[in-house]
Chains A and B, each alone.
Chain A
Amino acid sequence: MNIRQALKMALRSILGNKGRSVLTMLGIIIGIASVMTIVSVVNGQNQQSLKQFEAMGTNRVSVSLSLYDGRDCFQDLYNYCNSLGKDLVVGVTPSGYANATIVYGTKNSNAMQKNQENMFSENGTVRTDVELPPDLYYGSDQYAVCNNYQLEKGRDLSFLDIRQHNQVCVLGARAARNFFGYADPLGKDLSVNGYPFKVVGVYAEKDPDSAFSQDNVIIFPYTASRLLSPGQSISDFVVKAASREATEEAVTRLNGFLSGLTGNGERGWGNAYSDNQWQNTLNEQAAMMSMVLGGIAAISLLVGGIGIMNIMLVTVTERTREIGIRRAIGAERSSIVTQFLIEAAMLCGIGGIIGLSIGTVATRITGKLLVHMDIWPSIPITLGAFLLSVVLGILFGIYPAAKASKLQPVEALRAE
């Protein structure tokens, strides 16, 4: 019997036992589709969080500091950080949040508020082309270093801008696009609460996929806060450490400095902590989540596998008789095993492909509905799930054949 005959015979057998075929495939389909969907969506979300961390930069130390007499303490912090040296600290900046209305031509940040309603596209993903109001920050000349921005054109805030209370600003890439479109923002004056602020630079894009992008920002010299938000004192700062090791050292030193400055809490309060810590915590949580859901997925794959195994083994008696009949009318051992191998491979292959298709669709839909992301299935997971169920199916598919073909025909015929 040649391969073409064997293929035809396997196909006939599959079509002749529709119930059994569907049940076998069902195990494979459910196993593959569920593993793909769960693991891919979780992976996709984790990667998204990681991307945002990367955009923000690592080795940041957040400092909260406020003195009860209301004195501006940034200068003290700035001087102290400079005294620590470039091996330990490479930058320090205020990270105060400003609240102001930005107007340029027909563009108005207040009017942009209502665009938040349109943040999600019809198919559930976040839109990155919606003009949302920018986040406004007060910074020093080291704001870019501390927050991982690269200058794309123009110049950054300078030490003199700070000293002389210059009315200038630097735009993040998306803020520049929202207000100026394809026009060159450099040298243009934005109206900030009615005061003119000249755009001197634009940062390169670093977080293109998020809705609330870190590129939708405008940075002002922190000394402009006296003009824009009089009476507000800045109490949040970011220190950029030179390395992972330097971060811990910097946190220790800064906390020492802060307790000195605040008189151990008598004249104010101050605290420094590493962003690495909560990044690590978040990463750990993500890994944990991956493991738990991966475990659930593995269990469903296992259940699918057991399903395949069951249906294959349940039909052993029936199939043993069939093998006995085939042997009695002249089938060789090798023809029997070939036929059953092809049959199992076809069944599992078809089931596997259906599972892959359903898994892909389910991943895309779940990704959009649950985490508002454009997620494609992860290839190693998909491949692993596919191979595992197909191998299981084939193994348990040829098991009865291999066993029964070794019997004398009469013993196989007697099976009940």
Chain B
Amino acid sequence: MLIEIKDVYKIYGEGLESEVRALDGVSLSIDRGEFVAVVGQSGSGKSTMMNVLGCLDIPTHGEYYLDGTNVRELSDRELSRIRNRQIGFIFQQYNLIQSLTVLENVELPLIYQGVGADERRELAMEALERVGLLGRIKHKPVEMSGGQQQRVAIARAIATHPPIIMADEPTGALDSHTGHDVLRFLQQLNKEGSTVILITHDNGIAATARRCVRLQDGKIVEDREQEVDWL
């Protein structure tokens, strides 16, 4: 198993009257090459799930094995390395650094990987070419439309060729047409072998994935294979 969580809890204000269980005893396994949609309403714990799976947050209880390694035992340096090399993130709000140009944003994970300048530029350009943004590499994010910014974020996520892609509501801020493009791109990445985890509240969007995991109040209420809506 590539990803395996066992009985994971994420509890805010534990022990207090007002404690919130964002994840309430969740167990889940995801194999290499899967395309999994995690669906749930707002507050169901789906974003918390992605943060835990993406090593952006540490669960309160429970174990998380990534590629056989217990994440809890890793140092900050090792966790940073995993986020850098194993996972590519795509966020709803793009999360680009506004002061950097498109090219610099895409190069950033490669810089932290220690890739030399020439190779870095080559990899970044390759990623930008895949999302069709080669013509705008000198622009700043604010000079671009939402769809273009999300494509920059995708280029950044795939520039390091990570085995896992995690997308948190990647179409949430986009119109249906550009959202459609983004989803098709995720399916394409999955076909090429990447493991894709897609977080969404929208059943229609979830239909683009082979496997659908439904969350409600921090618990998995449904986990099934489904017909894929190929885009």
Contact = CB atoms under 8 A, between A and B. Distances in A.
Interface of A: 1-2, 5, 9, 12-13, 16-17, 321-322, 324-333, 335, 408-411, 413
Contacts of A329: 83-84, 89, 108-109, 112, 156
A62 B100 CA distance: 75
Interface of B: 51, 54, 56-58, 76-77, 80-81, 83-85, 89, 91, 95-100, 104, 108-109, 111-114, 156
A392 to B, nearest CB: 23
Contacts of A325: 95-97
A3 to B, nearest CB: 12
The A contact surface, by secondary structure, is helix
Contacts of B77: 332
A330 B107 CA distance: 12
B83 A322 contact: no
Contacts of A330: 80-81, 83-85, 109, 112-113
A17 B56 CA distance: 27
12 contacts: A5-B111, A324-B95, A326-B97, A326-B108, A329-B109, A330-B84, A330-B85, A332-B112, A333-B80, A335-B112, A409-B83, A410-B56
Given A9-B111, A330-B113, A409-B57, A322 B97 contact: yes
A167 to B, nearest CB: 86
Nearest to A322: B97
A328 B111 contact: no
Contacts of B83: 327-330, 409
Contact of A331 (B57, B80, B156): B80
B99 A333 contact: no
Residue of A1, A16, A324 with highest tally of chain B CB at under 10 A: A16
A2 B104 CA distance: 17
B106 to A, nearest CB: 10
A332 B56 contact: no
A1 B54 CA distance: 22
Given A329-B109, A329-B112, A330-B84, A413 B95 contact: yes
A333 B100 contact: no
A223 to B, nearest CB: 86
B112 A12 contact: no
B68 to A, nearest CB: 20
Contact of A16 (B80, B81, B99, B114): B99
Counting from the closest, the 8 A-B pairs by CB-CB distance are: A330-B84, A16-B99, A410-B56, A410-B57, A409-B56, A329-B109, A332-B80, A330-B112
A23 B83 CA distance: 35
A242 to B, nearest CB: 74
B76 A333 contact: yes
A333 B95 CA distance: 19
Contacts of A409: 56-57, 83
B51 A410 contact: yes
